[in-house]
Structure 1
Amino acid sequence: MSTGPTDIVRNSTHVFAAICKQPCLNGGRCVRPDTCNCPTGYIGKTCASDRNECATRNGGCAQVCRNTRGSFRCTCHTGFVLDGNGLTCSDHDECKTSFHGCQQKCQNHRGSYICGCYDGYTLTEDARTCRDVDDCASNPCQQNCIDLVNGYQCTCHLGYKVSEDDNTTCDAMCPQGCGNGGYCESPGICSCAEGWSGHSCETPLCGAGCVQGECVQPDICICTSGWEGDACDSDVNECASENGGCDHICINSPGSFECDCHTGYLLSENGQSCSDHDECSDDGHGCEFCENTAGSYRCICPDGFVIGPDGKTCEDIDECSSSPCQQGCSNIPGSFNCSCEPGFVLDANGLDCSDIDECTLNQHACEQGCVNTYSWYTCTCNNGYRLGSDGTSCPDVDECADKNLNDCPQECVNTVGGHQCKCFSGFAQTEEGCQAVCQPSCANDGICVAPGMCKCSNGWTGNSCNEDVNECEDGTNTCSHICNNVDGGFLCSCQVGYELINSHECVDINECEVSNKCQSGCENTEGSYVCTCETGYMLDTNGFSCSDHDECAAGEHGCDYCANTLGSYSCFCPENYYMELDGKTCSPVCDPPCENGGLCTAPNTCNCTDGWRGKRCGWEAKVNHWTRNTTGCQCYFDNTRFDCACCVLGGCQCDSARSNQCVQCGYGHTCTEEYDAENRMGIDAWTLTESGCPCLDSDNNYGCACCRNRGCACGKTAPNRCTQCGLPFMCYLKKPWEE
């Protein structure tokens, strides 16, 4: 096939090149006569038409696909930002930026956000700013209300604190805290919700208990491995299902199981089946004579022998070791003989021995009594006699000469085989012995202890115990205060302010518990009492009533600003100041608060630390226009990390190699460029210069901003500023570092 002279030409190196009569556009290359090879993003015979990538599967974009000449780009709906992959979108947390416009609080929502106010303020009609609520004129406080400039502060009585829920009612204070739905019922005492107990309601209650687990919530147990049931008292028995697959024995254990075999069997390698073990086939049994059995073996011995203590060797049977004889035994091979000790005779059964009764057979030498004993006999004597040294005779016993046998209280007369007792003159014989005789007899429970001598009971004296003892005079009374003598005794009484106990002891009467004139507190003293006042009150001159004590006037408060209350005082702070944790010191309020270590030195005035700037110290001194902070935000390439850069609106994080830098979304290739914060070009991310380019309303006026990064001029709203195309509201916002 030949080609016309206009289709192919020879170049200087004698190589033929194709000729396209209509030139290839937009970077297309002529590869054959009148045939263009178009670059990505263009189509058509001469590559003159743009390819609409968005027409096919939305260009792969998750939300919005915007076709551009020769390319396309993905964008996101308002409230979302483009991810680093340039395709997917993530929710934009407007509350973490400075562009939300909320005066006080900001709450992020998916694709949007809402503004809120601090306690004591309400949201105005513009849904962004907050205004102050009414003050004490509306009586908002439950107990005490301190009128402040443009506001109020509620305070409470001793032992209570202002409720954190509404800052107006007063809650009892429990320093230990009342958790798990419990509440502070009174100062220091928690009322726990059902199912909880403890000083701070920290202990859950499980009615049935948690036997093998832990009670983590009321009536909810977390069981340890291998246990189940509401009370964790049921073991998970793996052996209950098909014996756990075991051939013989399945041994269940908490949280597991294992197979085992009956004695004499071996567990196979599969850990489940069992086979008989022939113990006699190896040398491990140790028997002199071995006999294998199913699942076991046994050691055996010939007749006349028995397995020894080791259970394996054979020994001669020692019949005497089982004590078949009552007394003596002699072992012989295959048998034994019994014998008896002296005083016994072998019975007809050849095993037992019977005692010989010497007393019954009159084979003894006793003078009086004979008692047979085991293998012998013992001689005894009648009362009044004792056994002689020969062990058989019985001579008379002189009981009167033996102090161990003489039981007479006064005189003793010995008789043959016994003795008699007699009394001295002045004593009479009674069943109890010799009793002294007194004439006249002892009165008032007195006791005759010797002839004519009485021992008087307490409170009486005299020969016949008929004279009263005055215990109050002789010092023998036990009264702690006052003694009153009576016949045969005394009575005790007490001084004013005391009462009698135990019939003799006087103890102080606690008038504070019985009756007193105190209007507030009462303190008992020995024999009396004094009145006291609660903290914050002083005792009046009458000694009974109390009046309020003005701690503020007395300088006994320690507050920066003090307001006296009935029985106490309150520390408060003026507008734009807040109370420190000590409850006394006032510090200025910066709202929003200073960031990155900045100090609030005056209301809404931050003193920034080195390296930070801005009204709230929220911007690093040396970061680019897209990087708010070099660290502190979640990393897009690793959601478990929060040490990557925080980006401003329109900025995206760089890759892991430069995780502390942000660039304009879609310009990730610029992450590799070094950034000089001191010599940066342009006014902000979108504005190159504030003037020098034609204004939108007049081509002859070059006093408007010049844009960069494909930014769009703000126009009349801000003629010297550019913004990201499609986000005109940013023309009204301050530059990020000017906040």
Structure 2
Amino acid sequence: MILMNVILCSIVLFFPVPSVLPAKYQPKWKKQACEIPSSQTEYSHYICTDDGEVKCLPGWNGDLCDVPKCRSGCDPLQGYCNRPGECLCKLGYYGERCNKCIPLPGCQHGYCNTSFECICQEGWDGIFCSEPTCRSDCHATRGYCESPGECLCRLGWSGRNCKDCQVLPGCIHGYCEKPLECKCYPGYTGILCQTPICSSTCHKERGYCKKPGECRCKIGWWGKNCEKCFPYPGCVHGSCRRPWECNCKKGWGGMLCDEELTHCDENPEICQNGAKCISVIKDEGSYKCLCREGTSGRNCEHSEYHTVKPIAVKPSAVKPIPVTSIAEPEEVTRNSTIDKIEKEVEFASGYNISTITTSATTTTTTSTTKVGSFTENET
């Protein structure tokens, strides 16, 4: 305490206090403004006192009394005024006191500290704070969010974090390695892996399967590989190449192949003129004859033309036949009751060969056979 008093006394002694203070400084223009009446106009914002000093009118200040006093509370940095009592805001600010900033146009979930800023609220990102911040473990490219903290999967992806691919819609027995894929598990095929692969030996048209490796037969077929057909129900001595057929074995006939065909075996001579006999069912007449050309009738018993038996003659015995004349042939008419016609042809002396016989069997027609005679030339 004693030391402090000593210091103060030393200061006073070293810097003596003047007995008279200097007069208040007054700018030269103020003295001139009051000394020169013409310097004051109706637009001046001051008056001159009796002492010749300049005094600013209410609402004005400044060395020249040309600065209006703004409304009380107007932000000194972001507000201004052109006349006393105003508070006009600079660009980027608003409010009664011009103390509020205008954010960046388009800023959705943000705020500002200075004009045209866009400082994002928690959970939002982007220039305009329009992009929500997804959950931290959400996949960066496969997932997205519409509000902060969620995780929605893009098309083709699934799972909590959108890290799992999504199979093609409708894929039944398949999986995926990339979005909208359908790779079949073993034993299945098809675009949607919906078709099981049957046993390798299963008939492709007659068989099918409901699960891999099996072989189920379509209706009308049976067997391990569906290679056998079902014959017509009740088929006795028959087989099938297609379902519900009854193809009879040899010697059997009828719709169910239950009628034995033995008529031809029991009657071997029933078909004539070399015809072939075929046994048929009783409803069709028990038998049929396959006639040779030129014969007809149920048993091929009718001949439709005459046959001339060939004459065996040795080539060395053949001599030219000198013909002198051919007599007018005579007509022989036979009725249906004549079975055989014989006519001897007379040749020249020394060439009487034999009697040529023509045979024919008829029923209702009448035919004419013309036979001529040959006469040897006389020398």
* Normalised TM-score (structure 2): 0.32
**Pair member with larger Rg:** 2
| TM-score normalised to structure 1 length | 0.18
